[in-house]
Amino acid sequence: MKEWKLTIGIQNQSPVINLFYQGKRFRYWNGKTIDVNLCSKTNPELLKSAFELRLLDGWKPKIKEKIVKKDPIRVLCVIGQGIDLKRSQGCSNRFIKDAQRILVLWDRFENEVLKRKLLIEDLKAEHIKNFLVRPNWSPKTQRTVKSTLSPLLSHMKPDLVNKVKLHKPVSKLHKPITELAKIFNELEQFNKDLYICCLITYGCLLRPHREVRELTWGDFTEDLSFIKLSGNRNKSGRNRIVPVPYYVKELLKKGEPNHNIFSGTTKPLNADYFKTVWGRFKKVSLLLEQDQTLYSFRHSGAINIFKRTGSLSKLQKAMGHSNMMVSMTYLRGLEISELEEEDMPVI
């Protein structure tokens, strides 16, 4: 069966050779394309026969490829696509919330700093650095924003964000609390939730803003003697089992296993709850000192454990650190007397 078909048609009152090939129609008014000096107006039948002979010899018409002009894509749209992609991959609500914040900040950056809409093909490392390095952003904040922005652009600009070098943030020292009993008394009078949060942070060495805030009654053993957290519930990614001291246990009244210990429902308090309440407490406290934070209770608990046991191994397990070297660095930052590796307990 023929791949092609030839007919003589009329267009603009003049004969034309119609060639139907691969679902397309080609029209010829002369034989230039097949190197024949014929014209359809003078002898259309002869021109048709010439095309037929050439087709039988293997000649094929050139099919022009349709060039699809791509619309320019804005960086803002690429970030939005990245958010949709990460949401479809099941990323945490926290990450999606941070990513959406990046989208808003980038829009402002284009409007207020660049004064133009930036296309993804024009995006360079210097644009990203100018976005990240701001007077009101600490080095730690810059790195946090960078780590959120990078996966949002990676499907269009892989590794571009990683080319941007930022200053290493200086580790913040959470000053230990010496007058613990007095501070706890202040907290008890100020806010019960914050009081219990600080007690658990100190007594169980859990991190306050996620590990403590998200605790459910199901995380405790039946007699409230231990807290068990799976790897996806804590920063280290390791399963943790920590004892609950008597001064924490006596304040707890066990509820439904799937209920949060603070909210009394299946949903925990909002992510910034303890940060907000702590900020209010700082304004009224007569005892808090400069650089004492919610994390200071965890640090103070770590110092207490090490001073009483002298065991870095026990401290490492209690803190949930990935290795002993992390705990050694941690102690140096907590104003413990200088330690050397050979001073450490043997495992």
Can you give the residue ranges of every domain in the chain? 4-56, 75-163, 180-343
Overall size of the chain counted in residues? 347
The CA-based dihedral angle spanning residues 233, 237, 240, 244, taken in that order and rounded to the nearest 10 degrees: -50
76 within 8 A of 117, measured Cβ to Cβ: yes
Antiparallel, parallel or unpaired: β 14-21 and 4-11? antiparallel
| 339 bridge partner residues | none
Q: Which of 14-23, 53-62, 71-80, 316-325 has the lowest mean pLDDT?
A: 316-325
Q: What pLDDT, in 10s, does the model give residues 216-269?
A: 999 999 999 999 988 777 766 677 888 899 999 999 999 999 999 999 999 999
Would you say the pTM of this structure is higher than 0.75?
Answer: no
Across 272-291, average pLDDT: 92
Which pair of tokens denotes residue 133? 């390095």
Which pair of tokens denotes residue 216? 């459910």
Question: What class, spelled out in words, does domain 180-343 have in CATH?
Answer: mainly alpha
Answer whether residue 47 shows pLDDT above 50. yes
Q: Where does the pLDDT of residue 197 fall: very low under 50, low under 70, confident under 90, or very high at 90 and above? A: very high
Q: Which residues are CB-contacts of 173 (< 8 A; sequence separation ≥ 6)? A: 291, 333
Tell me the H-state helices in 57-92: 75-88
Q: Where does the pLDDT of residue 333 fall: very low under 50, low under 70, confident under 90, or very high at 90 and above? A: very low
Spatial distance between the Cα atoms of 150 and 79, rounded to a whole number of angstroms:
10
* Position 314, amino acid: K
Spatial distance between the Cα atoms of 253 and 249, rounded to a whole number of angstroms:
8
